[in-house]
């Protein structure tokens, strides 16, 4: 078994898909911070949520393995609150 799993994360603010190889023990909060930094998002990570298979993944110490993330999984990072259209 591999020490890391590949995941793809779509950042909705920029529509960037970021590929990462992470250990299953990686906290979901660390994944979110890493992806937002790579997408050059300046807003606080607390303003975003991570979704996997359509459901929000709680970040309170939850790891990728705890969330059931499998190799080549697709996750989404999007704003916690919807932004108004002007």
The per-residue pLDDT for 60 is 85
Please name the residues in contact with 67: beta carbons below 8 A apart, sequence gap of 6 or more: 28, 52, 57
> Residues 62-82: pLDDT tens digits?
999 999 999 999 999 999 887
Domains of the chain: 5-79 (3.10.20.90)
pTM score: 0.86
How far is it, in rounded angstroms, from Cα 7 to Cα 68?
12
Q: How confident is the model at residue 17 (pLDDT cuts 50, 70, 90)?
A: very high
Kindly state the average pLDDT of the residues 2-31. 93
Q: Which residue has better confidence, 84 or 12?
A: 12
How far is it, in rounded angstroms, from Cα 37 to Cα 45?
9
Q: Are 33 and 22 in contact (CB under 8 A)?
A: no
Residue 84 clears pLDDT 90, i.e. is over it: no
């Amino acid at each position: 078994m591999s020490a890391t799993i590949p995941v793809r994360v779509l950042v909705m603010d920029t529509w960037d898909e970021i590929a990462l190889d992470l250990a299953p023990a990686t906290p979901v909060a660390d994944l979110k911070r890493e992806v937002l930094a790579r997408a050059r998002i300046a807003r606080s990570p607390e303003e975003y949520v991570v979704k996997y298979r359509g459901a929000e993944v709680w970040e309170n110490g939850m790891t990728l393995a705890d969330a059931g993330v499998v190799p080549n999984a697709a996750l989404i990072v999007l704003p916690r609150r919807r932004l108004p259209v002007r």
